Structure 1
Amino acid sequence: MFKLTSLNLNGIRSAASKGVEAWLAKAAPDCICVQEVKAQAGDVEGRFHELAGLKGHFHFAQKKGYSGVGVYSRHAPSDVVVGFGSAEFDAEGRYVELRFDTPQRKFSIISAYFPSGSSGEERQQAKFRFLAEFEPHLARLKTQRDFVLCGDVNIAHKEQDLKNWRSNRKNSGFLPEERAWMTRLLDEHRVVDVYRHLRPDTTDESYTWWSNRGQAYANNVGWRLDYHLATPAIAQLARSESIYRQEKFSDHAPVTIGYDLAF
């Protein structure tokens, strides 16, 4: 079983101070996709270039202490793609793709961090621009290779994906336009929400993010913002899922899917 984990770290140094390395060593994933590294190459080299025996590959933001994604892998990739060709968003460190190509299969593991629009209208418009650019990128990629994209998508797709859906219908992360984008990705482009493929009916046990305000985490007032999005051939190999909540490394929880996938 190939264990693939996704986790928004909310700062790699912060998550390390909260025990994420020890948990990874125990959980022993074959690959982990991380988002919001909030570090530069110099901060990572010699300290976080490997985690739990996995080698890291990164896309850092130009702005210090901001965004940044990585993929830590037990297996050496045949190629690494940094950025998805966006003049605006590649500067923000939002996409890294590890390719594992053989004569039999072209396969990618992607770590992606979608923008949040919660800070105001300017960033919400940036989020819409990102979605408009990213959709055709994924559609093209799907015609060329199989993939699983892991990441913080910053969208709760359906009412079952957040606790207070009624009061959030006009808030970033649950806007009709964002949810329609996700529906289009799944229905028209035939990309699979792997967790929902395995657990179609879960509600409060599916949340992966909790606000730091009030007692959201203690009361499980959460959102499902972290996904595995895969091409159908990969999604059909998914066998198990887990969202780890016994320890808190950031405001997100790790999402692990086990795939019947050989390297």
Structure 2
Amino acid sequence: MPSDSPIRIASVNVNGVRAAFRKGMGEWLAGRDVDILALQEVRASTDDLTALLGDEWSVVHDPATAKGRAGVAIASRSAAHIHRVELGHDDHDTAGRWLEADYEVGDRIITVVSTYVPSGEADSPKQVEKYRFLDAMSERMSQLPRESELAVVVGDLNVGHRTLDIKNWKGNVKRAGFLPDERAYFDRFMGAEGDEGYNAGAGFGWVDVGRRFAGEVPGPYTWWSQRGKAFDTDTGWRIDYQLATGPLAAAVTSYAVDRAAAYDERWSDHSPVVVDYAI
């Protein structure tokens, strides 16, 4: 992959890639000039995915153990140097939820992780499983910056870190996605709000690119419930992230959430997060 222009990385939970393409994802992708595309909730076979994307894309894919569930993938204009899917202990099924790939950019290597954190459900076994995943994710995220100077973890992380990340945060403090224990994991990743060094080297040193680029403003949201008028009133959640190591975050030249112009023009309940890195 050449390094004479910014590398554009896009990430989106497609909510089923076959349905997304039927609704217009292909047209979005054709006009976005993406170099590396990370997908979550693929819910399709590798053959289906490669057929939809076309021959110009090189695809690595980790489907879920249960057919029709989850699934993460990374597609790029050039082949991955190496890819890995292991996360946590062998007795914890993380298939379809964590995929790492290394790409050569000029004479450097960038590590891209596509991840889909379980949604969870407060006070239920689903929440226990979510915490197990976040524990394993935390262990890996503490290691990655030591292994790869240029690394980015992207995807549907299913947690709003701060009150700025959820429109109706007061009504969601006891719901999965905004529980204090969930948000504490993100404090470890990039520091807690108000801490010295928050989003600038605190915690494990990761940088929330969206928050750094947007500033201290609500959102920009990336997911809206399909029910009611959530999309029309922008009553959303910012749960789709690009978390970069410090050196890679310093190379960001643009950040965008590709929110559809209207409800009936959406091809997923999530919007793509698109970032340019000048490396």
TM-score after normalising by structure 1: 0.92
Residue 25 (1) aligns with residue 43 (2):
no
Match of 1:196 among 201, 206, 211: 211
Identity over aligned pairs, percent: 36
1:152 CA drift (Å): 0.3
CA distance in 1, matches of 2:30, 2:125: 40
CA contact (8 A) 1:118 1:124 kept: yes
CA contact (8 A) 1:24 1:52 kept: no
1:51 CA drift (Å): 4.8
1:120 CA drift (Å): 6.4
Q: Cα RMSD between the aligned structures? A: 1.9
Deviations 1:17-69 (CA, angstroms, capped at 9, x unpaired) = 11101110111111110000011334335x23x35832221110110100000
Match of 2:275 among 248, 251, 257: 257
1:74 CA drift (Å): 1.1
CA distance in 2, matches of 1:257, 1:107: 14
1:185 matched residue in structure 2: 189
CA contact (8 A) 2:87 2:94 kept: no
Helix, strand or coil: the match of 2:255? strand
1:98 CA drift (Å): 1.2
Match of 1:171 among 175, 186, 191: 175
2:194 matched residue in structure 1: none
Task: Name the aligned partner's letter for residue 16 of structure 2.
Answer: G
Deviations 1:128-176 (CA, angstroms, capped at 9, x unpaired) = 1111111011111211113111100000010010110001001000000
Task: Map residues 95-134 of structure 1 onto 2, 5 A cutoff.
Answer: 95-100=98-103, 105-118=108-121, 121-134=124-137
Deviates more, 1:85-94 or 1:161-170: 85-94
1:102 CA drift (Å): 7.8
1:202 CA drift (Å): 2.5
TM-score after normalising by structure 2: 0.87
1:77 CA drift (Å): 1.9
1:211 CA drift (Å): 0.9
Residue 13 (1) aligns with residue 18 (2):
yes
Residue 78 (1) aligns with residue 81 (2):
yes
CA contact (8 A) 1:21 1:51 kept: no
Residue 248 (1) aligns with residue 251 (2):
no
1:95 CA drift (Å): 1.3
CA contact (8 A) 1:209 1:251 kept: yes
1:104 CA drift (Å): 5.5
1:230 matched residue in structure 2: 244
Task: Name the aligned partner's letter for residue 28 of structure 1.
Answer: D
Residue 39 (1) aligns with residue 53 (2):
no
CA contact (8 A) 2:115 2:155 kept: yes
Aligned length: 258
- Cα distance 1:4–1:101, how it changes in 2: closer, same or farther (>3 A)? closer
CA distance in 2, matches of 1:192, 1:107: 15
1:244 CA drift (Å): 0.9
1:215 matched residue in structure 2: 229
1:118 CA drift (Å): 3.4
Residue 135 (1) aligns with residue 149 (2):
no
1:90 CA drift (Å): 4.5
Task: Name the aligned partner's letter for residue 215 of structure 1.
Answer: K
Q: Which has the higher strand share?
A: 1
